[in-house]
A and B are shown apart, each in its own frame.
Chain A
Amino acid sequence: MPINYYLFLAIALFSIGVVGVLTRRNAIIIFMCIELMLNAVNLLLVAFSKMHYNQAAATAIPVANPGIDGQLFVFFIMVAAAAEVSVGLAIIVMLYRNIHSVDINFLNRLKH
């Protein structure tokens, strides 16, 4: 499969995430859109890792595991995302306890 298709698919998914962050007001849905953007990047990393594997197989350069770094990066991104979600949801729950809403328009009182 040409790498272009994966590139455009990932760009489209990422942009949908950006639109969600910009247009929604519910903090949880904004959070989910950030997860969507992370997943778009993950998909592109895996596609590029298989592209490098293909390239190395074509040129016959003796590399141990060509392109494996991309997939390990995806693993570490998932680790970071899981940590981020736990802390972020704790913040949202705390927010809801204090202002009884998850509407981000009420968050501007943080600056006072």
Chain B
Amino acid sequence: MSISAILFWVLSIAALFSALMVVTSRNPIYSVIWLIVTFFTISGHYILLNAQFLAVVNIIIYAGAIMVLLLFVIMLMNLNKESEPARHRWLQLAGAASGGAFMLVLVAALKDTELKSQQSLLLEGHIGLIKTLGRELFSTYVVPFELSSILFLSAMIGAVLIGKKD
């Protein structure tokens, strides 16, 4: 087993475990911290796939900005106590069962596809590098890029308007 295969399995198990801990933790602060761990493992997967730009952006945007915002809100609203009343036992069971059934259906539908023989290239390839991605982003995808700035502007105005005390 090569070193990249070992890294793949370690990162996958860590990602699944931390994702499970996000769902099962009672305290919202622990959920946020486990979610940050999940994002770091997913960034590790990106590095393994040599998508360096996305690995860095994932850490900066998700672990850096979004999670800090969530932690801020949780601490400001003083939700860091385990006061959340649990759902009814049967509703929890039904939710877990339907999620599991969803997974079962997807796995059963996709386990015998043509994709079985395809490989995803690890550790090589230049398409994940900043130079290539930036060139493509500012030539072919320049219109969506500019539109996303309008999206950000409207999201900013929307957040201020909604959060304003009336």
Q: Which residue numbers of A lie inside 8 Å of B, CB to CB?
A: 1-9, 11-20, 22-26, 28-29, 31-33, 35-36, 39, 42-43, 46-51, 53-55, 57, 65-68, 71-72, 74-76, 78-87, 89-94, 96-97, 102-103
Select one of A14, A66, A68, A83 contacting B133, CB under 8 A: A68
Q: Given A25-B85, A31-B70, A90-B163, are A39 and B38 also a contact pair (CB < 8 Å)?
A: yes
> What's the minimum C-beta distance from B139 to chain A, rounded to whole angstroms?
10
Contact B22 A33 (CB under 8 A): yes
Contact A7 B115 (CB under 8 A): yes
Contact A15 B57 (CB under 8 A): no
Would you list 5 pairs from A and B whose C-beta atoms are within 8 A, ordered by A residue? Answer: A4-B111, A32-B70, A46-B54, A75-B57, A90-B160
Contact A2 B49 (CB under 8 A): no
Contact B54 A87 (CB under 8 A): no
Contact A53 B127 (CB under 8 A): yes
**Is B3 an interface residue, CB under 8 A from the partner?**
no
In the complex, what residues of B have CB within 8 A of residue A51's CB? 115, 118-121
Closest B residue, CB atoms, query A96: B77
Select one of A11, A80, A87 contacting B103, CB under 8 A: A11
Closest B residue, CB atoms, query A94: B162
Select one of B8, B57, B73, B128 contacting A93, CB under 8 A: B73
What's the interface size class on B, roughly?
35 or more
Contact A18 B162 (CB under 8 A): no
Select one of A14, A50, A76 contacting B125, CB under 8 A: A50
B100-134 vs A, Cβ < 8 Å mask (1 yes, 0 no): 10110011001100011011111001011000110
Contact A25 B87 (CB under 8 A): yes
In the complex, what residues of B have CB within 8 A of residue A75's CB? 53-54, 57, 133, 137
- In the assembled complex, the Cα of A43 lies from the Cα of B151 at a distance in Å of 23
Select one of B45, B79, B132, B163 contacting A26, CB under 8 A: B79
Select one of A53, A87, A102 contacting B158, CB under 8 A: A87
- In the assembled complex, the Cα of A57 lies from the Cα of B127 at a distance in Å of 12
**Is B16 an interface residue, CB under 8 A from the partner?**
yes
Most buried by B among A72, A84, A102: A72
- In the assembled complex, the Cα of A78 lies from the Cα of B133 at a distance in Å of 15
- In the assembled complex, the Cα of A93 lies from the Cα of B154 at a distance in Å of 18
Contact B133 A16 (CB under 8 A): no
Contact B20 A16 (CB under 8 A): yes
Most buried by A among B8, B54, B57, B95: B54
